[in-house]
Amino acid sequence: MNIYRLLILLFCSLSTVTVSAQSKNVRYGQVSPQVRQDPAMQKFRQNRFGQFIHWGLFSIPAGEWKGKIYPGASEFLKSYADISTEDWAQLRYQFDPVNYDPVEWAGYARQMGVKYATFTTKHHDGFCLWPSKYTDFDMDETPSKRDLVGEFVKAYNDAGIDVYLYYSILDWHHPDWRYSLENKEDSVAFDRFRDYVKDQMTELVQRYPTIKGFWIDGTWDESWKKSGKFSYELEVCLKKLSPDLIINSRFRADEYGARHFDSNGVLMGDYESGYERRLPSPYDTIVPTRDWEAVMTIPENIWGYHKQWEGHIKSSYELIEMLTRCVALNGNFLLNFGPKADGSFKEEEIRLFKEIGRWIHTYGNAIFDCGYAGFERQDWGYYTACRNGNTVNMVVFNVPVSRMLRIKLPAKLQLSSAKFTHSSEKIRIDESVKGEYFLHIPDKEYKEPFVLEIEVKNADGNGIYYMPPLI
């Protein structure tokens, strides 16, 4: 048994003691088994890299209102600029995405190398990018009357890309939305709103049966945190309609108001989705024990299209490093793009499609269907282990001046070989002490992150090494 598994068993034992000492009777917590092993969930793990799309009415003002530029997330402009619901609603008559070509979008996504995509159906302003039967604040009220969601789903599916749908519970437009429930009138109104949510989410599942799941947002207000029974029953209902549906941990709170994880620390939803514009520590050994996903913006805090990108703009290699860190910790990476109101992308985004794609198409074998290796992380980069064999990848971002890469393996494992990916060239290996090795790479300039493939075997000769499974 390697060190990773010993640590996990210890963690699970401690967790069991803690829960038993402080456990609550949770009726409306977890719906699915904590670690799903069905083909749909296995595919989600294999996919690893996805594209997030934030698009809607907020793409029209693009962070500007009455001549003033508001920094930050453009989808919050209504709040930042104190725009009335009536004035914001008028934007739907201007929303005419004449340059929206979902086939072209899917081509960009394939070029970048993503395996899945998450598309905005309704953001916090309540505007629906499909013709919904349950509201007139939707695409039927726009000049084009197009079903933007349906066109996206078809084009991306035709390109071999799985589609998930973003849906915000929070709704600034709906008259029955309440931030909190202060009295009976609020409760009655919010009951109607909950029915609206159920109707729309059911509509999306039935209208677009090929979708793989939901990315739910806007669930932090007290009103929804008090909807544990309702949201539990809604998840059950949705999964009866589509048994393979995958839903993130943001969707629900239990009956005590706990979000993401229930009051006993058990993950709610099929994967953890609390990593927004941040990543776990690269030395974290707990997060690899569950499914999770990080979502990331290219600017620091801009999701939908904004006229002015300010502050730090992430480079392609910076984003590739984030993606690799996620994979190395058994997580997925969802990279956001904000199309313009007309359906076109910024030139900076198109450049990233190409730059990231060039690297992915060369080194994607270290990303897709890979995960946590269970080895002690070193400063040169990250390990990713392939699920289908005994190959462990070293994704190198920081080349030491010495041109020697250190490896430290858990007990009873030994390093048998190393080579550059897509090359038969062997790399000299020195073992300094038992279980600690140095790889000597050529003394040259390395202009991009690269991948080494190493073969690791059990020291007793009883077979090859496989990546630690999820527990």
Q: How far apart are CA 204 and CA 198, in angstroms?
A: 10
Does residue 8 register a pLDDT over 70?
Answer: no
Print the SS3 string covering 26-84.
CCCCCCCCCCCCCHHHHHHHHHCEEEEECCCHHHCCCCEECCEECCCCHHHHHHHCCCC
Cβ–Cβ under 8 Å, residues 57 and 92: yes
357: left (phi over 0), alpha (psi -120 to 50) or beta: alpha
β-partners of residue 64 are: 69
pLDDT > 50? residue 1: no
* Spatial distance between the Cα atoms of 101 and 99, rounded to a whole number of angstroms: 6
Q: What is the dihedral of CA 324, 329, 332, 338, to 10 degrees?
A: -60
Per-residue pLDDT tens digits for 318-332: 999 999 999 999 999
Partners of residue 413 on adjacent β-strands: 458
**Of the candidates 425, 388, 382, 389, which has an alpha carbon nearest to the alpha carbon of residue 407?**
382
Which pLDDT score is estimated for 462? 58
Give the lowest-confidence range in 15-19, 69-73, 135-139, 453-457: 15-19
Going by the DSSP 8-state scheme, the letter that residue 401 receives in this structure is T
Angstrom distances, CA of residue 287 to CA of 135, 170, 272, 373, 388: 40, 28, 9, 13, 22
Q: Is residue 146 domain-shared with residue 261, that is, in the same domain?
A: yes
Give the pLDDT score at 17.
38
- Please check the confidence at residue 41 and state whether its pLDDT lies above 90: yes
Whole-number Å distance between alpha carbons of 319 and 114: 13
Does residue 467 lie in a domain region?
A: no
- Give the integer Cα–Cα distance in Å for 79 and 192: 24
C-alpha–C-alpha distance, residues 227 and 224, integer Å: 5
CATH for 395: 2.60.40.1180
Q: Is residue 35 part of a domain?
A: yes
Q: Sorting pLDDT into bands at 50, 70 and 90, what band is 465?
A: low
CA–CA distance, 80 with 156 (Å, rounded to integer) = 34
pLDDT value for 71? 93
Q: What is the DSSP letter of 138?
A: B
Domain count for the chain, please give it: 2
Domain span including residue 435: 373-458
Q: Could you tell me where the beta strands, DSSP code E, fall in 75-144?
A: 116-122
Q: What is the mean predicted confidence (pLDDT) over 463-471?
A: 59
DSSP reduced 3-state for 122 = strand
Tokens, residue 187: 């409760």
Average pLDDT, the chain: 93
* pLDDT for residue 466: 57
Q: CA dist 252 to 82, 179, 225, 248, 426, Å?
A: 29, 15, 7, 9, 51
* Amino acid sitting at position 439: L
- Check residues 19 and 433 and name the one with the higher pLDDT: 433
Query: Is residue 102 located within the same domain as residue 206?
Result: yes
The pair phi, psi for residue 116, each rounded to 5°, is -150, 165
Same domain? 384 vs 348: no
The 10s digit of each residue's pLDDT in 254-277 is 999 999 999 999 999 999 999 999
Separation in Å, CA 94 to CA 75, 119, 149, 237? 16, 21, 18, 36
- Residues 283 and 406 reside in one and the same domain: no
CB 81 within 8 A of CB 63: no
Q: Which among 347, 365, 383 is the end of a domain?
A: 365
| Domain-located, residue 463 | no
Q: Is 230 helix (H, G, I), strand (E, B) or coil?
A: helix
User: First vs last Cα of the chain: how many Å apart?
Assistant: 14
Find tokens 């992308």 and name the residue: 345
Please report the beta strands in 297-374, taking only residues with DSSP state E, as ranges in sequence order: 331-337, 370-371
Name the least confident of 53-62, 404-413, 425-434, 438-447.
Answer: 425-434
Task: Please tell me the predicted confidence (pLDDT) of residue 469.
Answer: 63
pLDDT at 387: 83
What pLDDT shows up at residue 16? 41
Among 313, 339, 365, where does a domain finish?
365
Instruction: Look up residue 110 and give its two tokens.
Output: 């394939």
Contact call for residues 366 and 421 (beta carbons, < 8 A) = yes
Residue 305 and residue 62 in contact, taking contact as beta carbons nearer than 8 Å: yes
Mean pLDDT across 437-451: 96
Residues 287 and 429 placed together within one structural domain of the fold: no
**Does 343 share its domain with 397?**
no
State the DSSP H helix or E strand holding residue 18, giving kind and residue range, or none if neither. Answer: helix 3-22
Percent of the chain scoring above 90 in pLDDT: 86
Q: What angle do CA 453, 457, 463 make, to 5 degrees?
A: 130
Is residue 22 a part of any domain in this protein? yes
Cβ 63 vs Cβ 70: under 8 Å = yes
463 pLDDT tier (thresholds 50, 70, 90): low
Tokens of 284: 């974290």
Residue 306 shares a structural domain with residue 423: no
Do 164 and 183 belong together in one domain?
yes
Do residues 172 and 256 share a domain?
yes
Instruction: Please check whether residue 408 lies inside any domain of the structure.
Output: yes
User: Is residue 468 a part of any domain in this protein?
Assistant: no
Same domain for 358 and 385: no
Give me the pLDDT at residue 12, please: 45
In terms of domains, do 343 and 432 share one?
no
| pLDDT surpasses 90 at 422 | no
Q: Which residue has the tokens 């709610």?
A: 268
The three-state secondary structure class of 416 is: strand
In this structure, what CATH number is given to the domain that contains residue 143? 3.20.20.80
- Tell whether 300 is covered by a domain: yes
| Domain contains 392 | yes
Question: What is the token pair recorded at 291?
Answer: 């499914």
Q: What is the per-residue pLDDT across 363-392, written as a single tens digit (0 to 9) for each?
A: 999 999 999 999 999 999 999 999 876 789
Contact 292, 273 (CB under 8 A): yes
Pairwise pLDDT comparison (460 vs 151), residue with the higher score: 151
* Beta partners for residue 217, in sequence order: 168
Structure tokens of 441?
């790479």
pLDDT in tens, 423-440: 887 799 999 888 899 999
Query: What dihedral do alpha carbons 361, 362, 363, 364 form, nearest 10°?
Result: 20
Among candidate residues 307, 342, 365, the one where a domain is terminated: 365
Single-letter amino acid code for the residue at 229: K
The yes-or-no verdict on residue 167 having pLDDT over 80 is: yes
Same domain, 116 and 245: yes
Cα distance between residue 54 and residue 57, in whole Å:
10
